[in-house]
Amino acid sequence: MLKTSDLQSLKKHYEVKNFKKGDVIFPQGQVANGAFIVIKGIVHLKKRHKQENFIQHIGDIGPGDSFGAWYILFESELRAVSAEAYEDCELIFIPNLILAKKLKNCDPFIIYCFRKWIDLFAKNKVPGKKVSKESSKIKNDPSF
């Protein structure tokens, strides 16, 4: 999580976008154009499973955290989830060109480690991670 001083520094160099409660920041399946860092507010991440006909609540992102960059790690153009403002939000937007440049300068082994860790995490196989019965249940969210 980024500190307040880091967020203020990033605000000076990147575009700041504001969203009202209930606004869709980006929909699942959209061509990705960048990532976001939360300055203020809470963002809900959700994934629609069309064949099973339910929506999974992936998580909440708050101040100092980022979202929307996984696609670049997995070399995909499309958003795997939807992001919605749960509260009024102020976000820093980091465009694709910047993300690609930073990833290109990253050690390939580090990229491999991130991809592997994320894959294990998604399958609930992270060593030492305890999964409660409640957190392992998929939530059906009819309001989305």
Q: Return the pLDDT at 22.
A: 97
Question: Burial of 25 by CB count in 10 Å (0-12 exposed, 13-18 middle, 19+ buried)?
Answer: buried
List pLDDT tens digits, range 39-56: 999 999 999 988 888 888
For the chain, list the domains and their CATH numbers: 4-126 (2.60.120.10)
Residue that wins the pLDDT comparison between 70 and 39: 39
Q: Return the pLDDT at 96.
A: 86
Planar angle of CA 72, 118, 98, nearest 5 degrees: 25
